[in-house]
Structure 1
Amino acid sequence: MIRYLHKIISVLLVLCCSFTLSQAQLTVIDNVTATQLVNKLVGQGVVTMNPTLVCRSTGSGTFSGTSNLGIDSGIILTTGSAKTNTATFTVGVDAIATQGMSYTGGNTPGDGDLTSIINGSATNNACVLEFDFIPSGDTVRFQYVFGSEEYPEYACSSFNDVFAFLISGPGIVSNIPAIPTKRNIALVPGTNVPIAINTVNPGAGINGNIATCNAIAPGSPFTAYYVDNLIPTANPNIVFDGMTTVLTAIQDVIPCQTYHLKLAIADAVDGALNSGVFLKAGSLMSTPVQTENITGGGGGSNKLHTVRGCNPAVIRYKRLGCDTLQPFTFHLQVSGTAVNGTDYAFIAPTLVVPGGSSTVDLHIQGLLPPLGSNKYVIIGVLHPDSVAAGASIIPILKRDTVYILDSLYVNILTPEQAVCPNTTISITAETDPSLSFSWMPVQYNTGSLTITPTLLTTRDFTITVTQPGAPATCPPRRKTYHALVEQYPIISAPSDTIVCGQDSAVIPVSVYPDSVNYLYNWSPGTGLRATNIGTNFLFRPPGTYPYTITVTTPQAHCVSTHNININVRPPFDLSYVRPQSGTVVPYGTEVDMSAQGAVLYSWFPPGQFYNPDMPVARTLPVLEPATYSVLGIDEYGCKDTATIFLDVKYPLDPIMPNAFTPNGDGKNDVFGLTNAKFQKLLRFEIYNRWGQQVFSTIDPLKGWDGTFEGKGCDQAVYNYIIVVELPNKTIKTYNGTVTLFR
């Protein structure tokens, strides 16, 4: 009683002080009939009958105008007054939120169904609109907003104002234990929890006991659907301090059957603070069309699809109207990333259901080519009544999306890997279950998507899928598994070898097949150049050393090993190398060279010896200073080299005559060099007594015949200059005179 009186006083004070400020932008018409309310609410695909209204005469009405409801027009059912009346100091839903809506004319009866929904709490001031209806489709739906003055102070308390949309009829299953023939469809989305003050509210911070709301259901109270109408940015054209977002009531029904709908709201416990429910005009609808999707299959997708060139996807359209004797035309809107007539067979804008039939099939056939990224087509069904009326905006009743896939689906799930010979592997493929498949090689075509071959060499395994019953334009799809077999390495290397210790010795290793980038490991690594190379180099003191080389293939890690025993011999030196290096020998002398201590000898340069593979080797005549060497190999293959440098003693200077007689008698006819066997002639010139050059040559075999420019020279004394180079690069010059006699 205290809560009720306090609210009456506050309402009167507000009314007295603020009616002049309440210039409502929401237009409410009260005192309307049940038929008027139902006609305002009903939309496409629904036929209504037998409307009744149990409510205060001012408790219901129609509304339109600007507000923050999210609904522009419709009907209102309240536990108070629908419209503000300044003459009677009555506040309606069209007052501003800072005013208070609390009916002062005394309580009216509640509603038994609503009392059952809130577990027996008393209800009063009920406003109930009921009617029968026949839906043309398989669902019925409408939109609404619930608001209340109980918000936010009395949320989660016993003042749990409630409303319900109760449907009954064929196939309806109750969700209210106390009312087995009716189902409440005014529910928190995704739950079976009825909309009420205690189920949808701001939650923490309210004056009531939040534990009361938390106990109703997991996740309650459901604050996501609550709108605070007292915040400064709220629209002042709705009186309720709080309300819900726009919600949708929806129920599956049987087309052309008769159902009963009861729309009811009531105060709980007392009538001090009123509540109301707004229902959107024309939103009570039943879609008169239904589609059944039949996928073309083969694409490995749960989405409705067709593969280019293969079986089409089918959309089966069913008209849900109650009269099927006349033909019916579906008007289609085609969109999406796929191009009509290019990516799929052309789809006309209309689809006709013949008279006497309820269904018609639309085939969506993917076309080849072009190929590219997968595309899709969206096919919408326009509202038939809006099309017939020529409306400027035509709603889409139903949209279906069909994906145009490029190829049949097959995939090999097993990752490719390298293995060693005689390894059994398991290869598993995946494909659309509607497809047929086969393996190559044919011996693995056993009807299983998993095969288990034993591999000896590298080979390919291919699975091919086809679509049964598809047209000839449907291409098969193949996937290949490349089974790489890495052969065990074949190591070619000595098992026992002798090396010489005076230098690093090569340990040759060859591995076959030689096209593989093997991994190497030597053990132990002592004395080796590296442990991760093939052919290696060893340097260790004399002794015998065991080594193991391990060769591994890079991917399958197929391993081979080879053991090597290496005998490192002491250094080997040639002895008694003769003659001593630096010995000077006469020009043209043949020299005997010798060495001892080896079993094999090689003298270099071999072309300068008569017998270059003997311990004692004789040189060809020595004509110039030169260095000779001998390579000796002992019984273990160890080598040593010695060098011998021989210098050359040349003969005396060449003897030049002091006269010659170029008379053609064959004796002393030409003046030139004598005994010049080893010199290189650089310059040979002759001058007369006036300094004129009468002869010049660098050919050691050519002399002066006593002529100049083809004429014989006078008998006289002539000067000559000769420049030669010795084999040791020494330059010598000879000057003198010669007498020409005639």
Structure 2
Amino acid sequence: MKGNFTSFVLVLLCLFQKATSQIVNRESSIGSATNSGSSNNISQFELKNHKPQTSNHNPVKALQAETCPTNIDFESGSFNNWRCYIGETDVQNNKNVINVTASSPVTGRHTLLVKAAGATLDPYGGFPINPPDGSGYAVKLGNDDINKEAERIVYEFTVPANAKDASITYRYAVVFEDPGHVANEQPRFIARMLDVQSNTYLPCASNEYIATASLPGFQTSPVDGTVKFKPWSSAFLNLDAYAGKTLQLEFTTADCTQGGHWGYAYVDVGECNVSAIAHFECNPMVATFTGPAGFQEYKWFDDNFTKELGTGEVLVIDPAPPINNVNVVVVPFNGFGCSDTLQASVYPILPLANAGPDTVVCPDHPITIGSPAASGFTYAWSPANFLSDSLVAQPVGRPPQPATYVVTVTSIESGCIDKDTINLTVFQPIEITVSPDQTICEGQMVNLQAQGAAVTYAWSPGQGLSRSNIANPVAAPKTTTNYQVIGFDGHQCFTDTGFIKVIVNPKPQVDVGPDVALATGSTHTFAPKTQNGPIVSWQWSPGADLSCTSCSTPVATVKKNTTYYARVTNENGCVGVDSMNIRPFCLSTQVFIPNAFSPDGDGMNDVFMVRGKGVALVRSFRVFSRWGELVFEKTNFSPNDPAFGWDGRIRGATGPAEVYVYIAEVVCENDLINTYKGNVTLLK
């Protein structure tokens, strides 16, 4: 089954416009002493191109953080590579001045917060003290004590000389008492970046938050109306112009300068080298762009800045744009940075999963599934059972049972996925059944039968079979034969074999003797000879004129022309048949037909006729010339009657003296018919 997924590769390029910005709290002093509890080493972090990483919530694609300097995010669970400071705040020459000195982390002033299982809330703002990005550690800087306390933490690192798209995103939450003093006496939180070489703070990367009701995003505490708080927010620092520079990231908190009101903050560094976050819904094709946090205005434009696509930190484009660039102009709050322009390039990547066609395999037989790997994609098969490798495009499977595998193809660039499924039907052993052994007589046929899960069959030996490749051939063996049948499952996995024995019993042979001609009224005793006995039954037919029909030697009384059949059965039920024809003749009949006559009118031998006794009827009497011409014919008359004889005339005149041919059919008194043929000479 296929899913229609579309993917994108997002490349974010930060094209920052040069702009001036006031340096906030420039007069604050910078502590330079080494923190005994932290390292003096300057961290240098590897800046990578903004290539998307694999998302853990496909098909949504999120651009992830790149490599950050070691422990800048506190994720080692310590202040390693950070320097800690403590001091106090004051007003000098109508300016707020913060003086700090290096210190080990001071409990209650530099407090490392470990992410807890349950949400711990700030007592004044009621927001979770753990940052919303899910990181394991954050820092609480300062506390709700008074006496003009100030705290600072500093992280120093070098931006690589070949760096592109360098940036840091930090998250912060601030809680102040608002005593209503003048601005230079109020509690405050400062986040800024120092260029160590020039000893100047970076424009657009230095922000100071002073306790006042007019600060954007601040709220009044429901617990104490004098307390203002801002829950977790994000800020984006663009370091694009500082490749090769050594920089210091500073976070500072300070109470009011009169010593009676406090302020503290929560900080965490979340991501490096990420200027925006983009999510892509691959199915349907929806692009969601999120600008860097902490700006007042966001305006999104097309590639040529000819069309405004939307406003706000988040832009949703449905459907997602084709290959093109999307630009966002970010405008900071007044006094909190510079405007920037970011560009996003969208490239569609279309993963196409092909698990292969559903197929049938033999148990434990290897089969390669899937399709050749394509560059730029990862492959994952589920379940991994009985696969050689579940993370390649074409694993080899050996499932012992039917299995369904799903391949998930993920675009490395976009994280978009496609899935496909293959069903492997695994054949199991087959079983066939055959008909029981058979017994037949010589010359007979019998149906053989095999049935079961087999697709094809092969019988052997093939002699005596109607066909050897069907389930139910007809067998007519001449001798006893053991037939073997093999059933095949059709996929060369399994076979099963059956056997049928066909016993061939010989037919009995009976010989009742040759045909005979016997006198009417006489008798004939049959004396048959047999083989392949013993004979267990006799059957003679027709039964008329026989002394018995189920004995071996019946006596026949000769009356008319009859063919007698003897059917014998041996102990195996096999049958043999023989026959004898008994043709009777008239023993008491005497027929006289002369061989010459002289039709000269002298009263002596003038007529050629049939004479005899024991004759019931002369059915026909015909005379032919030597040329085959019928010259005389009479039918159905009694013998010895001159009226039915030939007087030698042919067409009214005495025929020529020559030899003629006669045929006479005579019916005896027992209705038997005898035919007499001969020659007669006409004399003159």
The TM-score normalised by the length of structure 1 is: 0.29
Larger strand share, 1 or 2: 2
Larger helix share, 1 or 2: 1
The TM-score normalised by the length of structure 2 is: 0.31
